[in-house]
Amino acid sequence: MCGIVGIFDLKEKREINRDLLSRMNESQHHRGPDEGNLYIEAGLGFGHRRLSIIDISSGQQPMISADNNVVLTYNGEVYNFLDLKKELEDLGYHFKTHCDTEVILVAWQAWGEACVQRFRGMFAFAIWDKNQQTLFLARDRLGVKPLYYAELSSGQFIFSSELKALKQHPNLLKTFDATAIEDYFGFGYIPDPKTIYKNVYKLEPGFCLTLKHGQPNYLPKQYWNLSFTPRLAQDEQATGEELIARLREAVKIRMVADVPLGAFLSGGVDSSAIVAMMAGLSKDPVNTCSISFGDPAYNESKFAAQVADRYNSQHHVEQVNADDFSLIDQLAGLYDEPYADSSALPTYKVCELAKKQVTVVLSGDGGDENLAGYRRYRWHKYEEQMRSWLPTHIRKPVFSRLGQVYPKADWAPKLFRAKSTFESISRDSLEGYFHSVSSLSNELRSKLFSTQLKQELQGYQALEVFKRHAVDAQTDNPLSLVQYLDIKTYLPGDILTKVDRASMAHALEVRVPLLDHQLVEWMAGLSPDMKLKGRVGKYIFKKSLETYLPEDILYRPKMGFAVPLATWFKGPLKEKIREALLGETMKQSGLFNQTFIEQMINQHQSGLKDYSTPIWSLLMFEAFLRTHH
């Protein structure tokens, strides 16, 4: 895994500042501590930081083609590179190395922009073609690897793996985008293609970008989208067998490395399935890594140990204590923009543990989005049934009123917390799903934001993110629609961002078999009833794994990877949140209603309401302001 940077002159071929390019490159040293190099010519500069995984002795970047006409800087892994290399050799091309980097370079020479369609893996790269005077950038289909870019007033186009590298450029304007702030407090992260700053963007998953000197107009182009069109039906047994065969193959091609390799093992279905497949493919015991929590409500370590024992893995466990919140400020520096998934804390810790043992790990990310594992999918299905039974003119006023009068029982078991469900049912399908996944409700965000921020928003709401993607969803099925929305937003914006930054902070490469795009396409074509059957999410996956994993691993309630925020904010962090959220940094930002923030803190700490999610979101925003501004 690596870090890439670049500067490209859109206007003319002016000299590139080597010192500036070097600073941008070195700001990502953590992503690639093994080597760092630059390539500079008139009007163009590439930088690269390398974490050596395959063909360690060669494969240095930026890589230049044998004829000196093409230059590449690349982050990621292309798992089918040996097949592509053979195909290219049959076409008459020759290779000097044994790495996937050169395969990308030669694939561009053979197939041009269409080369990206042939790559199977995770990647973000930039290619400079001297003959065509063309700069080409691409990001993998699911967004495993990040790619940021901006156009400056000087006419320079800059790009990088992390936002911190772009911030090294003195001409980058760091003006907040009000709609990105709304999105952040709506989702808990800033969905692609926005960043916290105006005119700074993420290249969206499955998109590419072509630029030329003297042609300042460019638009990202989508080269891949996911279709949920059902295929011909198969019986359960045949489908389950094919699912296991496809997963095993996706795992197998991700076990190629010239450095130590292992797996994350949480004790959940997805990570346990990955370890089961790895154990069947490896002659040596698999290295597995887990973290445990002192609080039993958050602790899955006994289930992880159960899987580790079954497959005789070399299992490593460390405990995260209930008061281990020392990373809060560090996270702000890691993510470069506001990011509010509290599981970033344990994810950072498990990456730290894994790096002590291995350089590459396989993870189980993506199973819930692809196979409908989240509880919210089940609730959405029930709500959709209610919407279909009752016409809008009856449903909307009745359930809206019920939502208003029903008490908000944060303290009660989920079964009795009907207020949110009533409010969701009163809305249409898209609004209802947004209400169920949003970090802060529309009402709460309205109370939280200052008059100034609301004026800047001009009526914009984070729901627009879902509306934009729903247009391209190519499905009328309610379950498939919300899966599509999560794959386009939550998966790259939250899950994969979290894993990339936490792993790269420790120079650890994470590979994700359940996000193999061929496997993802096949799973998308399964009948929705194969994914969510009654109350059982990931139904066909769990059925197919019954010979590999015990029942209490497969069918116990999902726990997630959370931390005890509500307890922290009433106890060890009680004073810290008051100092941070009611201090000068937040007041001077002019973005928030400080009176309402104080009211939330008082009500949370008195036990009247649970405001742990909005308080954490604000705490991470304050840490971002303090760290970066």
289 is catalytic: no
Residue 415, pLDDT score:
41
Predicted confidence (pLDDT) at residue 427 exceeds the cutoff of 70? no
Least Cα distance to 263 among 285, 243, 247 occurs for: 285
Q: Which residue has the higher pLDDT, 559 or 287?
A: 287
Which H or E run includes 453? helix 451-457
Instruction: Provide the CATH topology of domain 236-372+485-554.
Output: Rossmann fold (3.40.50)
Burial of 27 by CB count in 10 Å (0-12 exposed, 13-18 middle, 19+ buried)? Answer: buried
Residue 474, pLDDT score:
86
For the beta sheet containing 314-320, the strands, ordered from the edge strand earlier in sequence to the opposite edge, are 314-320, 287-293, 261-264, 360-362, 509-511
* Contact in structure between 365 and 265 (CB atoms under 8 Å): no
Q: Which residues touch 35 (CB under 8 Å, ≥6 apart)?
A: 48, 49, 50, 52, 60
Mean of pLDDT values over 329-350 = 91
Residue 151, pLDDT score:
96
Residue 467, pLDDT score:
96
- pLDDT-derived band at 412, boundaries 50, 70, 90: very low
Mean of pLDDT values over 480-499 = 98
164 in helix, strand or coil? helix
Residue 406, pLDDT score:
54
Predicted confidence (pLDDT) at residue 407 exceeds the cutoff of 70? no
**CA gap 430, 435 in Å, rounded:** 9
- pLDDT-derived band at 383, boundaries 50, 70, 90: confident
Residue 330, pLDDT score:
86
- pLDDT-derived band at 423, boundaries 50, 70, 90: low
Residue 48, pLDDT score:
97
Instruction: Give strand pairing partners of 38.
Output: 47
**Segment 117-138, tens digit of pLDDT:** 999 999 999 999 999 999 999 9
As given in the structure block, the two tokens for residue 605 are 């700490």
Residue tagged active-site, from 2, 99, 208, 351: 2
Mean of pLDDT values over 392-413 = 53
Predicted confidence (pLDDT) at residue 337 exceeds the cutoff of 60? yes
Q: Where along the chain do its domains lie?
A: 2-222, 236-372+485-554, 564-629
**Segment 563-597, tens digit of pLDDT:** 778 888 988 889 989 999 999 999 999 999 999 99
Predicted confidence (pLDDT) at residue 294 exceeds the cutoff of 90? no
5 in helix, strand or coil? strand
**CA gap 38, 56 in Å, rounded:** 18
**Segment 197-225, tens digit of pLDDT:** 999 999 999 999 999 988 888 999 999 99
Residue 413, pLDDT score:
44
Residue 243, pLDDT score:
97
pLDDT over 90 percentage in the chain: 77
Residue 411, pLDDT score:
43
Predicted confidence (pLDDT) at residue 402 exceeds the cutoff of 70? no
Residue 462, pLDDT score:
98
**Segment 29-58, tens digit of pLDDT:** 999 998 899 999 999 999 999 887 766 667
Pick the CATH number of 2-222 from 3.60.20.10, 3.30.360.10, 3.40.50.12280, 2.60.120.380: 3.60.20.10
Backbone φ, ψ for residue 360 (5° rounding)? -130, 135
